């Protein structure tokens, strides 16, 4: 089933305790599309880049079945640029630079051939732009998943709350859930955030896994314990791409199936952090994915002994 992905396609410069990169490919939608392409070949991208963006990466996406008809390339303009530096714990980072460039006045144009999409993934962007995308779709998708960040909670809370009323699933991290709800307990935060609109809430806790809430139902998926986390950039987006990619492949949006989707999302994220930027995802093989899913299965499998 077709999946529409909207978000940033960008240049990033990253510094971690393991090293430092110059400008490399990044952007929320890049990670989402690469992750989702492992599940469905019917993926469509809406984003904007400048003339400076490498054609090779666009070709990589196309070779993985991602339609780039909705990728605007702005002549004479520069792509979005973000730079971040991770602390020693790799769980926290400082944003060093955000140059909006082409994202400053991004008008998300939806090609006619994208109108049939049944799944919509709104990557981290201005809440107004996320809203515009939903409004421009003639038929509401079967499932709308949205990602956002603390930045929008601080500078565009009213717009964000309007957008939240229009989506089915929200993915945020634990710190953002606390900020948005004003509750320290994630269980209380989940109740408050669901009252804002999304029927499902996914709270990402980095190396401590992810929680899925819907009404009284809760599910927890661990993150894979890795010897080395090289670069966590894009892990949340990769998680979201695996999650919605799996749902789009199976066509089943029940809570039960979302549990499996979260495991697939976590498996994809575990690859993302192994190399800088998108490199690991671009070169990922199908058999590697399958064996990692098996590792996940063993990670949580146990016998129920009667006591």
Size of the site for ligand AMP (CB under 6 A): 16
Tokens coding 214: 């819907």
- Bridge-based pairing of strands 169-173 and 143-147 is parallel
CA pair distance 98, 299, nearest whole angstrom: 38
Interface with ligand AMP, residue 10, by CB under 6 A: yes
Give me the least distance between CB of 255 and ligand AMP, in Å please.
24
Interface with ligand AMP, residue 154, by CB under 6 A: no
Interface with ligand AMP, residue 34, by CB under 6 A: no
- Bridge-based pairing of strands 210-214 and 200-204 is antiparallel
Cβ closest to ligand AMP, residue 102 vs residue 189 = 102
Give me the least distance between CB of 124 and ligand AMP, in Å please.
5
Q: 3-state class of 180 per DSSP? A: helix
Cβ closest to ligand AMP, residue 128 vs residue 142 = 128
Q: Which residues between 105 and 124 bind ligand AMP (CB under 6 A)?
A: 124
Give me the least distance between CB of 195 and ligand AMP, in Å please.
25
Residue 12 contacts residue 23 (beta carbons within 8 Å): yes
Interface with ligand AMP, residue 27, by CB under 6 A: yes
Interface with ligand AMP, residue 234, by CB under 6 A: yes
Interface with ligand AMP, residue 151, by CB under 6 A: yes
CA pair distance 197, 193, nearest whole angstrom: 7
Cβ closest to ligand AMP, residue 30 vs residue 260 = 30
Decide: residue 150, CB within 10 A, 0-12 exposed, 13-18 middle, 19+ buried: middle
Using CA atoms in the order 141, 142, 145, 146, what is the torsion angle rounded to 10 degrees?
30
- CA proximity to 11, closest of 104, 82, 105, 71: 82
Whole-number CA gyration radius for the chain: 18
The separation between CA 307 and the C-alpha centre of its own chain, rounded to angstroms, equals: 41
Interface with ligand AMP, residue 127, by CB under 6 A: no
Interface with ligand AMP, residue 176, by CB under 6 A: no
Q: Which stretch binds ligand AMP (CB under 6 A): 109-117, 134-142, 229-237, 249-257?
A: 229-237
Cβ closest to ligand AMP, residue 2 vs residue 45 = 45
Q: Write out the residues near ligand AMP by the rule CB under 6 A.
A: 8, 10, 12, 26-28, 82, 98, 124-125, 151, 233-237
């Amino acid at each position: 089933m077709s999946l529409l992905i909207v978000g940033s396609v960008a240049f990033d410069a990253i510094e971690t305790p393991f090293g430092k990169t110059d400008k490399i490919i990044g952007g929320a939608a890049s990670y989402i599309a690469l992750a989702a392409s492992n599940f469905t070949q019917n993926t469509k991208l809406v984003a904007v880049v400048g003339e400076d963006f490498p054609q090779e990466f666009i070709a990589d996406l196309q070779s993985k079945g991602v339609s780039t008809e909705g990728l605007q390339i702005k002549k004479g303009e520069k792509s979005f640029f973000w730079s971040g530096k991770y602390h020693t714990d790799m769980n926290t980072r400082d944003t060093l630079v955000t140059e909006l460039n082409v994202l400053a006045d991004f008008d998300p144009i939806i090609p006619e051939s994208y109108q049939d999409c049944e799944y919509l993934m709104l990557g981290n962007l201005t809440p107004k732009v996320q809203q515009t995308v939903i409004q421009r779709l003639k038929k509401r998708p079967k499932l709308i998943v949205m990602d956002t960040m603390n930045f929008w909670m601080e500078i565009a809370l009213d717009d964000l709350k309007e957008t939240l009323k229009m989506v089915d699933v929200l993915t945020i991290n634990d710190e953002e859930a606390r900020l948005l709800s004003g509750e320290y307990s994630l269980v209380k935060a989940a109740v408050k955030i669901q009252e804002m609109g999304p029927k499902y809430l996914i709270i990402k806790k980095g190396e401590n896994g992810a929680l899925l809430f819907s009404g009284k139902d809760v599910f927890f998926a661990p993150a894979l314990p890795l010897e080395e986390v090289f670069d966590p950039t894009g892990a949340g987006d990769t998680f979201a791409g695996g999650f919605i990619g799996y749902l789009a492949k199976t066509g089943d949006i029940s809570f039960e199936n979302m549990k499996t989707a979260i495991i697939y999302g976590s498996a994809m994220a575990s690859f993302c952090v192994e190399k800088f930027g998108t490199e690991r995802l671009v070169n990922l093989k199908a058999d590697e994915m399958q064996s990692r899913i098996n590792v996940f299965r063993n990670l949580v499998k146990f016998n129920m002994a009667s006591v």
